[in-house]
Structure 1
Amino acid sequence: MQWFHLSVAVVFEIAVAIAAGKAEGFRNRPWTLATLLSGAIATFFLSRALLTFDVGVGYALWTSVAGVGITLLGALLFGQRLNWGKALGIAVIIAGVVGLQLSGAA
């Protein structure tokens, strides 16, 4: 169940980043509300996942997987550039997440 909770937390963390980008410094009320609500949901599900994961490992997984998702969605949906440096960074993050998993993180 901890993987489900972590997955939901990641999805809502990605939503936080997208909504915050649209919130115009919290001047756009609907996007501000979406940012705050998504953040609360992400934090709730992260806290549920951390009942099983070590805090450092769970937080590292949450932020890294969300960061990769945000970067890829930025490229796919918003026309942001995905260059070799970003692709290499994503590969390193994925290797780190696999390393955490192989180390018996959860």
Structure 2
Amino acid sequence: MNWIYLGVAVIFEIAVALAASKAQGFTRLWWTITTLVSGAIATFFLSLALLTFDVGVGYALWVSVAGIGITILGAMLFGQRLNWRQGAGIGIVIVGVVGLQLGGAA
């Protein structure tokens, strides 16, 4: 169940970043509300996941997977370009996440 909680936390953390980009410095009410509510939900589900994950590992997984999702969705939805260095960086993050999991800390 901890992986489901972490997955939900990641999805809502991605929503935070996407909504925050649309909130334009919190000047657009509904995007601002979406950002804040998504952040609260993401934090809640992260706290549930951290009941079984070590805090360092759980937080690192949350931030890393959400960061990859935000980067990929930014390219897909907002036309942001990815170069080979950024692609390599994503690959390194994935290797690190797999290494954390293989380390048996969760």
TM-score (normalizing by structure 2): 0.99
How many pairs were matched up? 106
Alignment of 1:1-106 (within 5 A): 1-106=1-106
After the TM superposition, which segments of 4 or more aligned residues of structure 1 sit over 4 Å from their partners?
none
Cα displacement (A) at 1:77:
1.1
Structure 1 residue 57, shift from structure 2 partner: 0.2
Give the percent of matched residue pairs that are identical in Structure 1 and Structure 2. Answer: 73
Following the alignment from structure 1 to structure 2, what is the Cα–Cα distance between the partners of residues 105 and 82? 32
Structure 2: unaligned runs, 5 residues or longer: none
Counterpart-to-counterpart distance in 2, 1:8 and 1:17: 15
CA-to-aligned-CA distance 1:56-101 (integer Å, 9 cap, x gap): 0000000000000000001111100011111011000000000000
Give distance in 2, aligned partners of 1:86 and 1:23: 26
Q: Name the amino acid aligned to 2:29.
A: R
Corresponding letter in the other structure for 1:98:
V
TM-superposed CA distance for 1:105, in Å, is: 1.9
Q: Distance in 1 between matches of 2:71 and 2:33?
A: 22
Whole-Å separation in 2 of the counterparts to 1:73 and 1:82: 11
Residue by residue, what CA displacement relative to the aligned partner does 1:3-25 show, whole Å, maximum 9, x if unpaired? 00000000000000000000010
Instruction: Provide TM-score, normalisation by structure 1.
Output: 0.99
In 1: Cα distance, 2:79 partner to 2:105 partner: 35
